[in-house]
Each structure stands twice: as C-alpha cells, then as structure tokens.
Structure 1
Amino acid sequence: MGSTHSWKWTSYLPLQCASHSVRLRSQYNNQSSPWMQKTLPGIQEQDIRIFPEDQIREVNSTVTFCCIVPKGKSFSRMYLKRYEGTIINTKKISEHVHTLTVHLDQESENWSDVICNTTTGNSSGVCFHAGYPPGESDLQCETRDLDSIDCVWNVGKKTNEYPLIARKYHLEGRLCNDVKSGKCSQKLPVEAGERNWTLTVENPLGKLELHDTADLTRRVHMLAPQDVVASTVNARNLSLKWSWTVQKYSHLNLTCQVDVRDREANATTENFGVGLTAAVINSLRPFWDYNVRVRCGTAQHFWKWGDWSPSVTIRTKRDVPDALDVWMKVKDDRTVITWKKPLASQSHGDILGYEVAWAKTKEKNQPNKTEVPSSNYSLALQLDPSEDYTIMVTARNINGSSLPSTITVPRRNPVSDKPKVNTSWINGSNGGFTLSWSHSPDATCGYIVDWCPAFGDCTVEWLKVPPNRTNARILSENFKDGLRYLLSISACTEGAPMLLHRREGYIRETKIEGELFKLHVDPKVSDVEVSWDPIPLEKQTAAIQGYVLYYYDSGSIFNMSTENPEATRLTAKNLNISTYTFTLTAQTALGLCGNSSTSITLNPSADNLIMLILISLVAVFIVLSTITILCYKHWA
C-alpha cells in the first residue's frame, strides 16, 4: 500500500501495428475492484509503413514485421530481400494491417530488408540484421617482455558482423584497438603475484566478461633471440651466440633449444643458464651445410617455448674422409676388392683418389700398394689361393687420408672338415628380397649380405647388418625383373668373413619369350630320343621346374614330361612309321613357355627292307624264266 507497482509485457506485434489494451483490477479480502482499462491505439499513416524499423536481432530468434497500408490502398505482398531465413507465415490482422513472421535461422551478411507492396505499385521497406551476442570463452593471459600483457581467447561465433554491431573489447578497462583472431595486448606493468585479469566484450545483443587469474611472471612467452651467429666453426662442432632485445631476460633462468637441420634430418639440443646467450653444438659432419635456429623459455615455472629465431646457414670445416665400406668378390683366380662410393656426408670434400694395400696375413713385411683413381671403386687382384691376405683401403681428399678399412681374404683351399654351404630358393616380393637366417656365434661384428646376378661379371652390392639382427630387407635400384640373383650371407668375424648361407631367386619372374631350345632328334627303330643343350641362366627369365615334350602325327597327340630341371633329353617310345612333330616346352611358375619344334619321318626297319628286296628279286626271276621258256619254244 502506498507504493508504485509496475507490470511489463512484450507483444509479438509492434505496438504501432494495432491497438493494444490492458485491464487491471485489485483484489482484497475476496473483494475485487472494478476493471480499469488502458488502450494504446495503433497509428494511422498516410503512406505505407513497416514496423519495427532497423532491428538488430539474435540468430535463432523469431520476429514479426507488420505492414500498415493507408486508407484507399490495398495490400499486395510482403517479402524478404538479401536474406534466406525461414518465413513462418503471413497473416492479415485487419484490412490495412498485414504481418510477416520470420525465423532468423542464419546470420545476415549485411543489412537485410523487408519489403511491402500495394496493388498500385507503392512500396516501403525496413532493414534488419541477424547476428550473435558475444560468445567468447577461455581467456588466457601471458607476458612477452614483462612490461605488457598479451591475452588470447576463443572467439566463438563471430562472422560477417556489420560494423554497427561489431563487438568492442576492453582489457583491464582499456579499449583494444587492434583485435585480431582473439588477441589483445596492453602496456601494463607485470609484477610478481597472482591477480585477476578481465576482458569485457560488448555488442548491441549482449555483454560478457571473461576472467583469468595468474601470476604473469610465471607465464613468460619469450620473444625470438636476435642476431644468431656462429662465433666458432670447426669440422665437427661449432659455437653459437645471440642477443636479446628485452633486457629483463638477462635476469631469467633460461632453457634454450637449438634446432640443427641439414638436407637429411634434424636434431634438437637443449642448454640451460641465466640470461643464456650462447650454445655449443657437437657431433656435426665436416664440410656440411646446416640450418640453425634457437628458441628459449623460462627454466623455472616453464610456461611455453618462445618464438624461433630466423634460421642461419653454417658450413662446417673440412676433414679427412670417413672410413670406407669395403667388401670383396672372389671368382675363379681373381679377387675383386670393392668399396662404396663415399656420400657427400662421408667424403668431407672432393675425393682425390684411393689407396689399396695388401699383404699375406702371416707376413709382417711392407705390403704391396697401388693407387686407384677417384672414379673407380674396385680393384682386381691376383692372389695366391693357398694364403690368407689382409687388404686395407683408404680414401684421400685435400685434408688427408681416411682411417684404413680392413678386410681379410681367406685361402681358397678346400678344408675337408668344413661343411658345404647349400643354396636354397627365395622368392622376391615388392621389388626386393626379404631374408632371415639363424644366429651365428661366429658373427662377432655382424653379418654381410651381398648379391649379384647369378651369371656373368657384375658389380657386387652388399648390406651390413648388426650382430643383434638376423633379418634384412634387400632393395636396390639395379634390380631387374626376369633376372636370377645369387645372394650370400656371411658372418663378420675378427678374421676372414665366414659364408653361412646362399639364396637364389628372382625379384619377379617373367615369361620366357621365343624359342628356347636347340633340339636334336635321334631315331632308334620305333623310339625317338629328343635332346637339347643346357639352357644358359641368362635366357631363363623364370625358373625352369621341368620339361614337357609333345609329339603328334596326323592322327594323335602324345606328351611326356620330367620334373628334373637339369634334364637334357626325353625319349618317345613305340612310335608308328609316320611323320612326327616334336615340341619341347619349359615348365615354369608362369606356365609353359619357350616352345621349340622339329619334325622327323620314321622309315621301315632294315629286316623288312631286305625281305622286300628278296621277294622282288624272286618275282623278277620267275617272270624272266617264264619269258625265256616261252621264247625258246616258239623261237621260230
């Protein structure tokens, strides 16, 4: 009693569009006062009008627009322009008032329009914009120089905002003039101790406050080091130094990462110290280009890594070459010592040449030596097969010679108690060979797998495997389909390598094309022996598993076969006197191939021929005798 009371209600329809009435009465002790009515009449316009005007509404809200048509005019239609929202309905309120209800299910790209037309061509329109209220979240603040704060947050839904409803940001009460992707910086003193940091976001659709509580002296996001240079450069290490643009960094306990990259890989080292401005990088390759960059963070209360410095390129100094990777191939009376061409990361400069020295292992005298040009990577030696030899190979560049790579060539005399190494078959897959073998206690320094085509002269290739592995995947850019390879697995020992296993196979077999065999036919009474020359390995683009011999005359086809790939003859028996065609094919995993044919005619046997001649002679004698007797009787 005696105070002012208020009541508020919002109509879905703008108040200008139609009359709105409200009745009010009081009630006390079950007695009610008379109704008191208040009416707010709609407006009457001389021109066509639309309400509400220039509205800013939230996406996913519903708004009703009304069109007031003056007397003497007739309503035609209402529609949207530059907006693809969902029209819920249109409704006639009175003869001169019509409404359009729209669900704002998407954001406006700019201002959108509602247009109302009369039947006489008059029209009017109003603008509206659908947008989002502030929806930022997750405020997080830090400092970069200890004299300012930098805050970031999750922007949320903020796209296509018209400048009229653009959001305004205030950090610690100061307007953020340059807001990019949810970031704001302010010059504020940073002191030790935890405090509250506040960001205020506001637009016509709402206001939001975000808070972050932190001690920013424990959230230092460092700037990048400046002027990174190499103060000292050696063959296998270098020293870096840099400077700071923020003087307060010199009092911080820092941890710095040095990222070292080359054309093959990258590595990161860490250094620690107060106001750190230098670092040493070890284990580098001589005469090699490296790209180096540095970033730092606080060691105590680590927050995050700072920015990387610009990358600088540094070339280490030259050094002697690395030791060569050496192997050997023994064939007939020759021993070929071969080595892999040093990579750029191993040569440490241009290779000027190689030196090969050899001597009998049991002798201590001066070894034989020879120079090999830098373009060659092997040397053939004539060695005494009854002696062990120690071979040493070095590479030389402008800085000197590498450490010698040593290999022992064993004597080739057969040892009776040494078991023979058998050769087993292996199938290639996916362009290479997958090998596995049993562990050998003799392999004190690992294993060597070498491979080469199974025929002719070749440049042997090899792979060295550590002692703890008994498998390898063999790949080579020189591998070819349809070519048989011989692979050897040897144990690396303190002395000469020990052969453990042999494998033979193809990367991929290919069908043998054309005629493969040179056939020889030897008829024997009613049998025919078909023989052929052994097939050279270079012609076997697939492994021969056996042979099939087809033979046929004008009436029938016969065949016989053998599963012996070493066979060189097959015999067809009990043949009739006729002309036969013989076709020999090789049996492979890809089917029959290499077809070669020849023909032969079988004649009667010698006994039959003699009998036929005797019968003919007797017949001639009888005829001649008869003619003689008749002529004698009638000679007159």
Structure 2
Amino acid sequence: MFTWLLFATLFCTGTQLGNGPDNGVPQCGVRDMMGTHDSSKQKILVTWEDDSSCSTGHDLLIYELQVLRGNEPLHHDEVFVTADQIGSTHSWSWSPPWALECASHSVRVRSRNKNHTSPWSSVQAVPETSPQQRPKLYPMDRIFEVGSRFTFCCILEPGGQFHKMYARGNSTAVNTTKISNQTYALTVDLHGPSDRCRTNVRCNSDDHGTCVYVGYRPDVGDLKCESRDLMSVECQWSVKRDTHLSRKNRTEYELLGRPCSACDKKSNKCRCKQSVEVNVGERNWTLTAQNVLGKMELTDQADLTKRVHMFAPENVAALTVNARNVTLEWSWGIQKYHELDLLCQIQLNYYGQTHTRNYSGVGLNFAVLSGLIPNQAYTAKVRCGTKQHFWKWSENSASTFHTKGDIPDALDVWMQTGSNQTIIVWKTLLANQSHGEIITYEVTWAKASEKKPQHKREIPPHERSVALSLDADEEHLVAVTAQNMHGMSSPSAITVPRHHPGRVMNVSLITGANGGFHVSWPANPAASCGYVVDWCPSLGSCSVEWVKVPLGVTTATVLSENFTDGVRYSLSIYACTPGAPELLERREGYVRETEIQPGQFELTWKQLGSDVEVSWPAISLRSQSAFIQGYVMYYTTNSEHHQGHGRMSSVSTDNPEATSLTARNLPVSSYTFKVMSLTSIGECGDTSLSVTMSSATDNLIMVIIISLVSVFVLLSLITILCYRHWACVKQKVYPPIPKPILTGNWLTSLDKPAQYRLQYDSRDSETDIVEVPELCSKLTPVDGDISQEEEGPCVVTQTQSPNAYCNQPLRNSSPAALPLISKNLLPPFRGMLENPSYNVALHIDEQYIQQPGVGSVSPSSRELQDVTCAEKNCAGYQPQSLKETSSPI
C-alpha cells in the first residue's frame, strides 16, 4: 500500500515538472508570427522567429503547426530546427487540397523540446470571403498535377439557391458537400493533361464556372556534360515527358545555379553551355529543372579533359591530285587541338560506294589518299576525335575532287557459241572502270595453234559484241581490248572450244527465289581459275549474261534487272580452265512462275463406245509460264434430265508429256469438258469444250447414210463426167465404123477367080481401100441370075497385115463385071465384119453395092434370085478369113 502511494506521488510530481513553467528550464516560445496566402498558387505561408528563451540549452527544437478551417483542425505538420538555426526566422508553406477561398483558415504553432511543450500561438492566414452578387467558383484558373484530387467550392450570392456542381472534361466528380449556408464544395479527380480550358467545374449552370489546367512536373534525364574547346562546359539532356503547361508556366533550368535553357521541342533535347576552367579531375555538374508543379535535379560526374567533343575540321581541300592518289589537308580553329593526339576518319564516296579510312597523329591536319580510281569524282568527309580518351566524333567537313584519267581496266569477256558462228560479248565498263570515254574496242583472234593473232577487227564504242565465223574443228584464242584517250587496256582473252555437234547435255530444272536463281554445283577438278554461270531466255534470240565465280566457291546467286516473271531461262555452268571453258551442267527454270493463260489447249474429241477421249497438241514452251506437272480434265453433263446433272467429275495424269485424257463409261448425253494444266502454283490454262455423245444405233445409221451419200455423189460425178465428155468416151469405147463400098468386077467366071476391093466412104475414115483377094469362086451367071457350077462353099478369103488395114479400090474392075445380086444374097454382106486386129465391126449397107456402069441399083429394078447361105455358112464378112456359101439353083 505504501509502495503504490509513493509511485502515484512521484508520477504526479514529474508531470507537473514537465508541463509547468517552474521546471528549471527556460520556456522556448514563438514570436513575431505572421500568416499570408497566395491565391494564385493556393498556398498558405507562415513565418515566425524563436523566442529569446530558445537561444540556449536546446540542441533540437520541433515546431508543431496546425491548420484550422474555422474551428475544425484540417492539417498537422512539424518543422525541425537545429542548434545552428535557432535564433533565425523560420517559414512554412502548405497547399491545401481545397480552395482557400472556401472558408477562413488559421494556423497555430507551438514548440516542443524533449518533454516540454510551449502554448499555441495562432495567426489568421486566410480571411473569410464575403458573398458576391452572383455565384463564384474557387479557385480560378488553377494549375494542377495529373492524377491529383482537389476540392472546388461555390459561394452563392445572398439568398441564392444551390442546385448542383459538376465537372467536365478529363475529370471525375467524387462528391458534393455543404460547408455553410452559402458555400458548397465539389471534390474532383483530375485524370489527364489539359493545357487549355478543356477541363472545368461548373456551379448551377454553364454560366458560372472555372477553368482547370492539368499538367506534369518536370521529368528530365540523360544528363551528359562535355567540353568542346577545353574552356567551357556544355551539357545536354533529354525531356522524357512534356509538362503540357503553357509557355508562361514552362520549365526553368539552371546549371551550376545559373539559369540556361535551349531546348528543341521536336527532338526533346536541351543544351546548356557555360564558361568554366577545365582542369584534370572529376567534378559534379548539377542541373535543376523546375515548374509550378515541382522541381527536379540531375547530376553528372565527369572529367572534362576526357570528354572532348571536337569541332569539325575547317578548310578541307585536296591540294595534290593525281590519277590514283590525292593529298587532303584541313585546319583547326581551336589552338589547343594542336596539342592533342588526334584520330581522324576520312569517308570517300564515289559512284554510289563508300569507303572509310583512319589516320592518327598529334595535331593531325592532312592525309594522303592512295589507291584511288582514275578519272573519278570523289567526295571526302573528314571528322576527328581524341585518340587516347575517345569521346565522340566531330561533325563532318566535306570536300570534292576529281582524279586524273588513266587507261581502262581489263574487260569482262564471255562468248555465246552456235553452229555457224561464235559471238564474243563483253560487259560495259563503269565510270570507275573506263577511266575516261571509250573510243573503240579491238578484237583479235587466231587459232590456238598459232602463236600470233591473225585477224583483227575494230568495234565502235556503242557496241558490246562481235560475231565471228570460226573453224568449228579448231580451238581459237580471242582477245578484246578497250581504248580511251589515255591508252589501251590490258587484253582480255578467251578460248573458243571446238564445236561438238553430237554432244547432248542433260537439262535439270531449277526454281527461282527472291527475284533470281540460287545455283550450286559440285566442285570440278578441271576448274583451275573458277567457274562461269551464264543465262539467257530459253526461247528466241537473246544477249547472254554471265557472272564469274572465284576458285573454291561452288555457289552463285544469279540476279539481273532483265529477269521477267513467267519466262523460262536456261542457265549453263562452265569450269574455267587454262584452255577453253568446259561445260558442266545446264539448268532451266523460272524466276517466278505465273499462271498459264486460259485457252492454251486446242481441244478435239472422239467417242469410243461409252468413252470420250479429249486430245490437244502439246503446249509450246513459249506459252508455258510455269512448269507443267500434269493435266486434269473436269467434265459435267449439260442435260437437266440426266441423273448426274451439275455434278462435276475429273480425270487427271501426272505425265507432263500427255496430250489426251479419256472419260470412261459415260451415259449418252451432252457434256462440257474443261482441261487444265497442273503447276506448282495451281491449276491454270483452262480451256472448255462442249460435246454431245451419240448412241451405237445412231452411229450405224450415220455410217449407212454416209456410205449411200458417198456412192450417190460418186455416181453423180461419173455421170456428169461421161455426159460432158461423151464424144471422147464414144470414140474410145464405140468408135464409128467406116461404111464399105464395093467396086470392081467381083463376080467373074467360075474358072477365073477374081479379086475385089471394098471401098470405104472417105467421109468416115482416112483409110480408103481394103483389098479382098477373093470373094467367091466359080460363079456362073444363068439367065440373068447367079448360079454356082459346082457345089462347095462360097468362100471369100483375105490375108491382111495388121499394119495395112485399108480398103483399096479395084482399079482393073469395070462396071460390066458387076452382076445383079439377089436380095437373098445381101444378108451375108449385112452381117458383122470383124476385124481381129482392131476389134471393130463393119456394117455393109446395100446402098453402097453398085451395078456395072450404073449408079446405085434399087431393089425394084433388078431381079435377084434367092440364094440361101444359111445352109452354106455364108453368114458374114470377116476380113481375116471371110467365107461365103451359095446354094445351087
């Protein structure tokens, strides 16, 4: 009990000593306290001084500050004062998260040292705003940081009614509160930057409001400091983010406490230069960036003697210019550069090419450029830097010069051989190879067995080839040189091989890629100086192109500005040997395959029973814009009543040499066939054909009809021809028979045989007379009639030569010797007279039998006794063996 009473007494005594004025330690208070505010920056500023009792006995003082809005505490803060700061004026500022004009604000301050606290000292910082004639929003035109939250207030006019507060733009209203009868507050979150009045707060209506500007505090980086002349420092940095503040609120920069600013808005790069004494050793170079929203500091630690960024060389010029070397000189505007060990880089640009060369030396101010191209325009760019502690290259200084001319470089020569002639071709020399304008080309050639060139020809400068007629059985050595005003180039020689007409080289296919061909081949031991790859379109005449590959390389990428998609090219690979080039391989391919154009097939068809075969001639290489890998034929019926109408079928082949496809087992109908070629890029070159199939009966009927029509046409033609040439046919088949005329005494005494002749009418034949040796023998006239003394046939015989068939008149006959002939004797003479030699029949008409001394005898004027010859075999007249038989009366 006594212990608890003693503890309570000591605790109370200690408390009184700590808080009361009589603890033996002087109280430290506040004096001369002042409070102000800045409405534009919405800040409260309070200043005060230490009481005289604070001057001794205190190592550290703590001042507590409290902000009150009316009588309501809103904010608490502390300020620490060290022993060396005691006795000076202290200040404190604060930006509240609401408008200062919304209510009166006061600040009170007290000191605290260990366990001793002084009483509060207060000051009025912001007086209360009196009501206006109309609603007023606070703060006006304030700048805020992106992402902040702020409370705006609206003070109504006396007796005014509050309706609403709202925010527009890139912001969000949080809540609305009532501060007093005439004052209302709206808390707003500000999301994005706005350097114009795009975000605003309104009270009651759009007529009463305030603009809000939202931005960022400074954000910079990459501070680097260097020296360019060893008498000043130059720092540069980058702006990482735009503040989005207006020009009057832009960011201010200070280097080493001195203001400077030179920024490029496009590149967001800033630079600042100040004169300083550059000494060996590192030091801090501090940059400060500040705007209304905040402040930022950057520091770079560097020894500027190791960070020398030189200025560009001055007065760069080429003093001595030759065909293949030039002396380039320049000067320095900074005297201290002559003491530095420099590294200079010279960049030569010519004919679209760039080469870089490095030179070094103390105070370097010249360089000799060798290995240049004659008659070539150059641009030389020079830049330098320190060699020992290289920091940066200087800017470039440029100069141009033109080297003197020289003889041309050797030509790149190749050949294009044929059966009748060889074409020697060479590439055009570029400007950096010709070293002047080419005047002429000279071509010399001779057989490989001959020691000196035997033939020479000059070629105009605009031509790049020459055609030579060489002996195909001999190798020839051809040399080509180019000449300009400075002289003639070294000869470029090539050996033309013998022609081997029977040699066949297999051709393999190649596929192009990336606008050209990538070719590879196995190494060949015969290649002593490399390889040559040449190419040309496979069809038509062309100018060959080529590329030479060094020894040891067996791949080449073939590129040409003359390559065309869809054109087939032939590539040949040669081994370069001491003699003639040796052909190793041939390839064919397309740089890029394209679709074969439609309508390339000339389709024909024929029906084979229930099959239809569609054929086409082989597609020419000129029409092939891709490799054909086969063919496909689609077909569908056109008949709506057919069961498979609209359904497409196909048949295909992977033989690129095929020229026909057959659709089998087709029902009789109308079909459409479409033939397409198969390529690596798809099916193309489609051509369609419509056909109508016929049945087997239709085919038979058609064959019969065709046969009948053919026979009818043939007979018609024969009839027409016979009708139009009847006279000729009659002459050949049934020639006219000459009409015989009997003259002379053919009836004589029975004892004396007589010879008679048949007289033909000269109007019917050119042959006039046929001699008849003996018509009839032993005929004796009796009483005016003709009788026969002795029995026997009446024979008329004649021996006639085949070469002398003609009727000769009987010159010794007289008209008296012609007896009267009975009509019964006429039939034998009316019979057929066959001439075996000529196979003709002669008809004897009775009107040509004449009486002696009388003209034609009519049957009524003479009496003829009947003589029956039928029994005596006297039935006709036969020139070769003519017999007549008469019966006795």
Which residue number in structure 2 is paired with residue 183 of structure 1?
271
> How far does residue 150 in structure 1 lie from its aligned partner after superposition?
0.3
| Post-superposition CA distance 1:83-110 (Å, at most 9, x none) | 6433322221121111122333334415
User: 2:158 aligns to what?
Assistant: 71
Q: In 2, distance between residues paired with 1:194 and 1:138?
A: 18
Distance 2:474 2:621 in 1: 32
- Unaligned stretches of 5+ in structure 2? 1-24, 31-62, 68-73, 75-95, 607-613, 634-650, 662-672, 691-698, 712-889
Counterpart of 1:146 (choices 216, 230, 239) is 230
Shift in Å, 1:516 = 7.4
1:353 to 440, 455, 460: 440
Q: Is the 8 A contact 1:110 1:160 kept in 2?
A: no
Aligned with 1:244 (options 307, 313, 332): 332
Q: Which moved more, 1:536-545 or 1:428-437?
A: 536-545
User: How far 1:593 sits from its partner (Å)?
Assistant: 7.4
Please give the residue correspondences for 1:342-491 in structure 2 after superposition, counting only pairs within 5 Å: 342-412=429-499, 421-429=505-513, 431-480=515-564, 483-491=567-575
Corresponding residue for residue 3 of structure 1: 28
Contact 2:167 2:188 in 1 (8 A): no
The whole-number CA distance in structure 2 between the counterparts of 1:392 and 1:166 is 77
CA–CA separation in structure 2 for the residues paired with 1:57 and 1:533: 86
1:51–1:318 Cα change, 3 Å: same
How far does residue 144 in structure 1 lie from its aligned partner after superposition? 0.8
SS of 1:89 mapped into structure 2: strand
SS at match of 2:336: helix
Equivalence for 1:59: 146
2:184 maps to 98
Taking structure 1 as the reference length, the TM-score comes to 0.75
Shift of 1:420: 5.9
Match of residue 632 from structure 1? none
Q: CA deviation at 1:497?
A: 0.6
- Partner Cα distance (1:298, 1:26) in 2: 61
Out of 355, 359, 376, which is 1:288 matched to?
376
Equivalent residue letter for 2:307: R
1:425 Cα deviation after fit? 3.1
Corresponding position of 2:583: 499
Tell me, yes or no, if the aligned pair for 1:85 and 1:104 is still in contact at 8 Å. Answer: yes
CA contact (8 A) 1:544 1:586 kept: no
The equivalent position to 1:319 in structure 2, one of 406, 422, 436, is 406
Contact 2:28 2:111 in 1 (8 A): no
* In structure 1, distance between residues paired with 2:508 and 2:138: 94
With over 3 angstroms needed to count, the CA separation of the structure-2 counterparts of 1:604 and 1:179, relative to structure 1, is: closer
Partner of 1:334: 421
**Superposed displacement of residue 52, structure 1:** 4.8
Q: Tell me the amino acid that sits aligned with residue 588 of structure 2.
A: E
- Return the alpha-carbon distance in structure 1 between the equivalents of residues 192 and 550 of structure 2: 65
Look up the match of 1:47.
132
1 CA distance for matches of 2:107 and 2:594?
Answer: 98
**Aligned-residue offset at 1:132:** 3.5
Letter in 1 for 2:383: R
For residue 205 of structure 1, report the CA deviation from its aligned partner: 3.9
Equivalent residue for 2:220?
136
Tell me, in whole angstroms, the C-alpha distance in 2 between the residues paired with 1:347 and 1:250.
42
1:173 alignment partner in structure 2: 257
| Structure 2 CA distance for aligned equivalents of residues 102 and 562 of structure 1 | 79
1:303, CA displacement in angstroms? 0.9
Whether the 8 Å contact between 1:449 and 1:490 is mirrored in structure 2 is yes
C-alpha separation in 2, matches of 1:130 and 1:543: 68
Q: What corresponds to 2:872 in structure 1?
A: none
The alpha-carbon distance between structure 1 residues 488 and 50, as it changes in their structure 2 partners (threshold 3 A), is: closer
Cα pair distance change 1:127/1:400, threshold 3 Å: same
Q: Residue 195 of structure 2: SS of its match in structure 1?
A: coil
- Does residue 1:17 correspond to 2:74, yes or no? no
Point out the more displaced range, 332-341 or 462-471.
462-471
Cα distance in 2 for residues equivalent to 1:544 and 1:165? 75
The 3 A distance-change label for structure 1 pair 437 and 178 is closer
Secondary structure of 1:346's aligned partner: helix
> Which letter maps to 1:462?
W
Structure 1 equivalent of residue 643 of structure 2 = none
SS in 2 for 1:249: helix
1:112-171 CA-partner distances (Å, limit 9, x unpaired): 89777679x995x66765444443344321011111110122334443333554333222
Question: Structure 1: which amino acid aligns with 2:64?
Answer: W
Residue 195 (structure 1) aligned to one of 275, 283, 293: 283
Corresponding pairs, count: 572
| CA distance in 2: counterparts of 1:485 and 1:22, whole angstroms | 95
One-letter amino acid matched to 2:161: S
Closer, same or farther: CA 429–68 of 1 in aligned 2, 3 Å: closer
What is the DSSP-based 3-state SS (H/G/I as helix, E as strand, rest coil) of the residue aligned with 1:9? strand
Q: Quick one: structure 1 residues 61 and 588, their matched pair in 2 at CA, closer, same or farther if it must change by over 3 Å?
A: closer
Deviation at 1:254, TM superposition (A): 0.7
Deviations 1:344-387 (A, max 9, x none): 33222222111011122222134321101112111111222232
Cα distance in 2 for residues equivalent to 1:486 and 1:105: 69
User: What runs of 5+ residues in structure 1 fail to find an aligned partner?
Assistant: 522-529, 550-559, 571-582, 611-636
Instruction: Output one character per residue of 1:593-621: Cα deviation in whole Å (capped at 9) or x when no partner.
Output: 79999xx9978999xx99xxxxxxxxxxx
Shifted more, 83-92 versus 444-453: the winner is 83-92
Preserved CA contact (<8 Å) 1:335 1:383: yes
CA RMSD across the alignment? 4.9
Residue 517 of structure 1 contacts residue 595 of structure 1 at CA under 8 Å; is this kept in 2? no
Aligned counterparts of 1:484 and 1:63: Cα–Cα separation in 2 = 77
Q: Tell which has more relative contact order, 1 or 2 (C-alpha 8 A, sep 6+).
A: 1
Separation in 2, partners of 1:462, 1:108: 66
Which residue number corresponds to residue 275 of structure 1? 363
- Whether the aligned pair in 1 keeps the contact of 2:66 and 2:108 (CA below 8 Å) is no
Supply the distance in 2 between the matched residues of 1:427 and 1:177 (Cα, whole angstroms).
63
Percent identity reads 46
- Most deviating of 281-290 and 239-248: 281-290
Which of structures 1 and 2 has the bigger CA Rg?
Answer: 2
Q: Secondary structure at the match of 2:180?
A: coil
Distance (Å, rounded) in 1 between the aligned partners of 2:566 and 2:481: 37
Deviations for 1:476-514, whole angstroms, at most 9, x for unmatched residues?
Answer: 344445654332111011221111112234453664776
Give the whole-Å Cα distance in 1 for the aligned partners of 2:624 and 2:273. 77
Q: Which amino acid aligns with 1:153?
A: W
Flag the 1:491–1:593 CA change in 2: closer, same or farther, 3 A.
Answer: farther
Does structure 2 conserve the Cα–Cα contact (< 8 Å) formed by 1:512 and 1:594? no
Q: Which amino acid aligns with 1:266?
A: T
Change (3 A) 1:249 1:389: same
Deviations 1:382-433 (A, max 9, x none): 2222322211101112222111111111223689xxx964222334456543
